[in-house]
Structure 1
């Protein structure tokens, strides 16, 4: 007939569950020290400023983070293995000592094995009681260790989650740093190529300018006279006559009277003419200013004639009129 357990029976059953310990698995559990043997043994990766770090430095930092995560994962696996072992011990104890029938079976077997010898029966029961006591103490250790192991597992899981976030941030920063460095390298390469090209051009110009370009007096004289005839006419950007001009339009028109074709562009006009030294200037030669954004015609006596800017007119100015001079060219 079934009946409810008394408090004494419940306590006895609980004690019996805790009495089976590491003997079932061959693992000895050592309470608090068990967990601290693993927690925090891996080295922390040093902090890094992603905004100033190079790609190589970020890559090293990322490797440290991944190593740290691997160590934390290994610790977590060890803790989980030990917790599983502790649970197996408790489950085995519950199976063997957790019910009244299980305990009765053991006691009955002990008593029956002693036949009719009362002393032997008592000795068997005492031995069984001592075994329960020993297993109870071992199970208490296992229970405490299980609590510590569970806390250690939670700590490791949180650390791994934090490391995953740091690794994700490091990977993004590494991608950005590599892209920035690649862009800088490409820019430096382009600049080096431009410098090499400029040096080659300068060298070619120097070779071509080593002998002063020949001077066509007739065309130069005609160009100067044409430019003088336009004095006072208005500047209009992009205009090339007959009554309005911009700087390169005036020069192209002046040499056009001698059937010499110059492109209506200061930069192209520079390439279409030959370099000369300042001391070789003759009337009709060209002077380029302000990064080749402006051109004027030399007319002698340290003066040039040009179409300056919007709101101004074709006029005569000093050769050194306040703008930086890029060079002197001859048509």
Structure 2
């Protein structure tokens, strides 16, 4: 196996993780920044540290990515498939970042994997795609929407007699904890997805056996790149999540973050399913905001975001397939 091919795939995987960090940093901190619970730089620094810590909390999602979506390809074709999958995901990340659209880096990666695998003649594990990607993609935003709405209703009821100004001050403090929990969950979910790709590359190249533990250097590298990307910031997407969907206040921000982080911890540890942090936090923001009044949510912006969710996987798959055909001319 050509060592240059392995280095190229691992390098592109790290760059994908970096784009994931600045693309999805808004997930963890947009609500806290928009409610002025945290300053932007303090929020980004906190998110970067918690992303780094979260990457070491488990490995179930990484194993799902490396073994449950496509059959592990072999040889130079296998390396070309992984390279093309990553390039397709990176391309979609950059396009949606440019337009400020909070799409899912996770589903861009999965779409890239499926598109490149189909182009390269590698079997797609469709049962895994349905069970671990499609069903969670549909269910998790619904849970986030309903959960955000119910948690916010509970907050309104519990603090119905509290002084409004004092309550908002206290929830600004509470948002520091909920934003940290969100960032920790983001690290738990998203760093592992790249770990799964790097492990596949190591298996294909013969440097690791299928089922072996994830090397420590892989965990550290993926977590570090995610944290660096997070600290670079994603201001365009942050404005969409923090302001364009709805003008949040601290209790709503806390409700959205608490709901989204809980959903991500459950799916990571119980179901080992790689869900989208973007989908969950966006829907939780909509749910929490809807308690103010239904029309308070800018549903036109929300509709565009949801449409972006549905085209993410096909778009990334198409780009990945085209990249594979091009790359295969050199690696084939």
Determine which structure has the larger helix proportion and give its number.
Answer: 2
Looking at both structures, which has the greater relative contact order when contacts are Cα pairs under 8 Å and sequence separation is at least 6?
Answer: 2
Higher strand share: 1
Same fold (TM over 0.5): no
- Per the normalisation by structure 1, the TM-score is 0.22
